[in-house]
Amino acid sequence: MKKSDPPEQPVQRADSMGLNVVEIDSNGVSPEVLEDLAQASRLLEGREPSEIIAWAVERYGRRLTMATAFGPEGCLIIHWLAAVAPDTFVFNLDTGYQFSETLELRDRLARRYGIEVSLERPETTVEEYEHLHGGPLHQTDPSRCCADRKIAVIRRVLTRFDAWMSGIRRDQSPDRAAAPIVGWDHKFNVVKISPLANWTKARVWDTIVREDVPYNPLHDQGYISIGCWPCTRAISFGEDERAGRWSGTAKTECGLHSRDHALPTGLPVR
C-alpha cells in the first residue's frame, strides 16, 4: 500500500455531505461544518457499522485512514473494510512496548484480509527513549510516555488525511460516553468516524465469533483492553474492562480519545 502525500497548507477539505470545499486553518473548522458533521452522525446512528464504513469510504476515498491497536473492535472494522476498500491505509501506533501476541495478530490479519497494517513508530527506539529519560518513563510519567510515543506519532500520520476511523465504543469509559458516529476531532484537526460507537462489548464479541474474525489470544487470558505490555494487566471478574490499563493510577486514557481534546458533535455530553 502506498501512503498519501502530505497536503499543502492551508489544507483544503471536501466536506463529507457534499458541501463546498472548506479551508482548515489555525482557527479550526467552521460552525457550519460542525453542524453538518453532527447531522451526518445523527443520520448514521441507526446504521450498521459496515454501512458507516462504506459511507466513509465513499465520502473521503483515499483521504480516509484507520488507526488500530488490534483490539476486537479494530479487527472487526478491518473485517468489514476488506470487503469495500482493502487499499485503505490502516496503521498502528507501534510504541515499541507492544505484546508479541499483538504483533503476531497483525500478521494473521494480513494473511486473512490482505490488509497489511503499517507500524508507525516514534523517532526514538525504546532503548534510546529510556536512556534519554534515565529509565522507563512509563513508570514515572505514563502520560508523557503516551504523548511522546503515541500522540506525536498519530499527529504526524493524520496530517496526510481528512478523516480517520477508530474502534471506540461509548460504553468503554466516561471519556468515550459521548462519542458521535461522525464528529470533528479538534485535537488532530480531522473528521473522526467511530462505526462501533453505539455497540456493546457483547455485540462485538458475538460478531467476532459468528464471522470467525481473528483476535488477540490475550483476550482469552483475561486481558480485556490491551495496550503496551508494561501498562496492561489481566482483570478480575467484575472489574471495569479498562481497569487493566495503567493499573494503580488515575489514568484511563492514552490521550487519543480524551473528551477534553476531541470534542464530539451531534451527541450531548452525559
Q: In the block, which residue shows the cell 456493546?
A: 200
SS3 32: helix
Compute the distance between CA of residue 133 and CA of residue 155 in angstroms, rounded to an integer: 22
Please confirm, yes or no, whether 254 is among the known catalytic residues. yes
In this structure, what are the phi and psi dihedrals at residue 164, rounded to the nearest 5 degrees? -135, 150
* Exposure string over 166-183, b if 16+ CB within 10 A, otherwise e: bbbbbebbebbbbbbbbb
From the candidates 75, 228, 231, 254, which is the catalytic residue?
A: 254
Measured between alpha carbons, how far is residue 123 from residues 45, 126, 227 in Å?
38, 10, 19
SS3 63: helix
Q: Where are the beta strands (DSSP E) in 94-137?
A: 118-120
Active site residues: 254
